[in-house]
């Protein structure tokens, strides 16, 4: 079976957007979101919006399934995106407050992609938003803070909201510490070890798990 593929316009918007996701992982994310939203008819949710690069693909898949993509971020950047760190982008600092602010770039990205009407952006800390959430989700994409504290809270806060047969997608999963930080990998292992998830696909560091049981 051929994998679903975004339109050329969506791919162009994805390639033009600031962010950290390579194309092959993006296509895998799009395929997972198309599958989950199409089967379940429920919203998809992302933790870690940044400038909207991955959001474009989730929103495009949501549009196809006549649902929405929800994306959560405080827009102040993760640890590694702060001044002096590897992934800092000086163009994303709000000069008035002197802090990172990725919200304006995100809004321009979604507008350019024509996907504003299919996206609900929530500005806030992931655990606080998760605690208020009350609707089942077709897919949860975890790509927020990459410390153990943040990744664990993202998993514990959001996984209970995943519908039966929904998909949990985790980014930056590296089994070998030489390849990257271990927090997403530990969350991935925890999900599998819970017995409530089964892995169905992996593209480089992007792993797709299906909810097969209850609990987390
Ligand atoms: C790796 S970036 C996301 C990249 C994006 N998914 C993409 O593909 O371009 C991580 C984002 O998570 C956000 N973040 C980190 N910890 C967070 C938290 N506790 N709550 C909400 N957002 C958080 C940061 O502000 C940052 O924008």
Q: Which of 75, 118, 146, 171 is catalytic?
A: 146
Count Cβ neighbours within 10 Å for each residue of 197-207 and write b for 16 or more, e otherwise: beeebebebbb
146 is catalytic: yes
Q: In what order do the strands lie in the sheet with 69-73?
A: 119-123, 69-73, 44-47, 137-142, 162-170, 206-211, 197-203
- Residue linked to tokens 């909810």: 211
Mean pLDDT of 84-94: 91
What is the Å distance from ligand 1's center to 5 Cα?
Answer: 25
68 token code pair? 């929405």
Mean pLDDT of 21-40: 98
pLDDT of residue 80: 87
Residue 77 phi, psi (nearest 5): 85, 155
Query: Strand 119-123 and strand 69-73: pairing?
Result: parallel
Alpha carbon 126 to chain centroid, angstroms = 12
DSSP 129: H
Q: How confident is the model at residue 30 (pLDDT cuts 50, 70, 90)?
A: very high
The Cα–Cα gap between 142 and 84 comes to 25
Which run of H or of E encompasses 207? strand 206-211
Output 81 or 50, whichever has higher pLDDT.
50
What is the Å distance from ligand 1's center to 2 Cα?
Answer: 31
Q: How confident is the model at residue 133 (pLDDT cuts 50, 70, 90)?
A: very high
CB contact at 8 A, 26 and 60: no
Q: Which CATH class is domain 8-211?
A: alpha beta
What is the Å distance from ligand 1's center to 143 Cα?
Answer: 6
Residue 71: closest CA among 141, 12, 137: 141
Q: Tens digit of pLDDT for each residue in 178-216? A: 999 999 999 999 999 999 999 999 999 999 999 999 988
Q: How confident is the model at residue 86 (pLDDT cuts 50, 70, 90)?
A: confident
Q: E strands within 23-151?
A: 44-47, 69-73, 93-94, 99-100, 119-123, 137-142
Which run of H or of E encompasses 110? helix 103-112
Query: Strand 206-211 and strand 197-203: pairing?
Result: antiparallel
Atom 24 in ligand 1: which residue has the minimum CA distance? 77
Kindly report whether the global pTM for this prediction surpasses the value 0.75: yes
pLDDT of residue 79: 87
Mean pLDDT, the chain, integer: 97
The DSSP secondary structure of 15-35, one letter per residue, reads HHS-SS--HHHHHHHHHHHHH
């Amino acid at each position: 079976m051929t994998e679903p593929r975004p339109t050329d316009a969506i791919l162009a918007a994805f390639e033009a957007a600031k962010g950290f996701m390579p194309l092959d992982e993006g296509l895998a994310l799009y395929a997972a979101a198309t599958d989950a939203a199409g089967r379940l008819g429920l919203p998809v949710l992302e933790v870690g919006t940044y400038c909207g690069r991955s959001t474009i693909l989730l929103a495009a898949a949501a549009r196809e399934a006549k649902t929405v993509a929800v994306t959560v971020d405080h827009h102040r950047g993760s640890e590694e995106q702060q001044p002096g760190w590897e992934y800092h982008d000086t163009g994303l600092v709000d000069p008035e407050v002197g802090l990172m602010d990725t919200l304006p770039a995100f809004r321009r990205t979604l507008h350019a992609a024509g996907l504003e009407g299919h996206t609900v952006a929530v500005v806030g800390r992931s655990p606080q938003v998760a605690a208020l959430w009350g609707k089942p989700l077709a897919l949860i994409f975890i790509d927020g803070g990459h410390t153990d504290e943040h990744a664990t809270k993202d998993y514990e806060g959001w996984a209970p909201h995943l519908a039966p047969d929904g998909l949990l997608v985790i980014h930056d999963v590296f089994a070998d510490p030489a390849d990257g930080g271990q927090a997403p990998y530990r969350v991935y292992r925890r999900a599998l070890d819970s017995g409530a998830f089964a892995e169905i696909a992996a593209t480089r560091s992007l792993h797709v798990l299906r909810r097969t049981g209850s609990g987390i």
